[in-house]
Structure 1
Amino acid sequence: MEWFTDDNVNKFCSRDTTFISKEDAMQYIADVVIPHPWYRAICLNDKPIGSIYVSSFHGSHICRGEIRYEISSKYLGKGIATKAVKMVGSTIFVDWPHLARLEGVVAVDNIGSQRVLEKTGCVLRKYYHVKGKPIDIAMFSLLSTDQ
């Protein structure tokens, strides 16, 4: 899981996990990856070079899932993440029929990941109605703490 020690990858990840040893990686796999309901490796020539997973929302938002992925920086810009997201999109709704929408969120300065999601159609499609017709939107936000 070399991407877990890749600073170019980790700067965009919400997790604080870093591996110092193989045992650390194995413990993460045992504690997080294996029990996760939908977690997969991204492989190239049978070698894992990243991971991709979907988490389902709970409560009234159970029809939505969030996709997250990471790939070793030496494989960025080659279309691998885009292909992986497309593969998930073609299977997740079969694996999890309760989902109606798959969402992805990206850090503003993670331009590469934004491009992946744009190329795979992950915008809020048919999210808002204008003059009786559903339209696609891009979402932005202001916070109550903004000046």
Structure 2
Amino acid sequence: MSKLTIVPINHDYADALLAFEKDNRAYFKSLIEDREDGFYTLHNIHNEIEKGIEEWESDEAYKFFMCVDNKLMGRINLRQITRDTHTSIFNDRQNKSANTLIHQGEIGYRISQQYSGKGVTTSAVKLVKQYAFEELHLNRIVARVAVNNPGSQIVLLKNQFQFAERIQNGQAINGQPYDLVTLFCESL
């Protein structure tokens, strides 16, 4: 049985992260906007990691590597962390008081093609969700997923995310507009 761990972003994984991104570039391009060629250098990867560490320290974002048997197989992030916000598109739908404080982040992830559809991302989302609610004391996690990515929607539904809204032409992937689906999960 393979063992999944989520590892906070760090420079020890720079070579593995670069290999992961290069090896899966064509696969990711079919799901999300392609990155510029300049992204795929070790120097840039170290810059991205350093930025992630700074965001972690300033409570802006929490980025993790998904590792299977200690090999980097994906990335998962909580970003756009907001705290003590009173406004949200979800208040009316959830019958929450206008005085409810919302501590939320947006989750995003990418898994290698080799591990896609094998439950790794579902398990990683569960771990990050637990970390977000128990350690970061967030009370809501939001996700925005392209409608052409049903696998990602299934991952979220398996983790008790609920549909919130559909955004027409909410994202362009390689110049092609796609609708987005917004889902959310709240702590109990």
Structure 1 distance, partners of 2:159, 2:142, is: 11
Q: Does 1 or 2 have the higher relative contact order (CA < 8 Å, sep 6+)?
A: 2
2:153 match: 114
Superposition RMSD in Å: 2.3
2:82 match: 57
Q: Which runs of 5+ in 1 are unaligned?
A: 125-137
TM-score normalized with structure 1 length: 0.74
Aligned 1:23-102 pairs, distance under 5 A? 23-30=43-50, 32-37=51-56, 38-55=62-79, 56-57=81-82, 59-60=85-86, 62-97=102-137, 99-102=138-141
The 1:60/1:7 distance shift into structure 2, 3 A limit, reads farther
Of 6, 12, 21, the residue aligned with 1:4 is: 21
Deviation at 1:64, TM superposition (A): 1.9
Deviation at 1:26, TM superposition (A): 2.0
Structure 2 distance, partners of 1:141, 1:117, is: 17
Are the counterparts in 2 of residues 49 and 71 from structure 1 also a CA contact under 8 Å? Answer: yes
TM-score normalized with structure 2 length: 0.59
Q: Which runs of 5+ in 2 are unaligned?
A: 1-16, 57-61, 88-101, 170-188
Are the counterparts in 2 of residues 42 and 49 from structure 1 also a CA contact under 8 Å? Answer: yes
The 1:101/1:17 distance shift into structure 2, 3 A limit, reads farther
Structure 1 distance, partners of 2:103, 2:123, is: 24
1:135 match: none
* Bigger share in strand: 2
Structure 2 distance, partners of 1:65, 1:27, is: 23
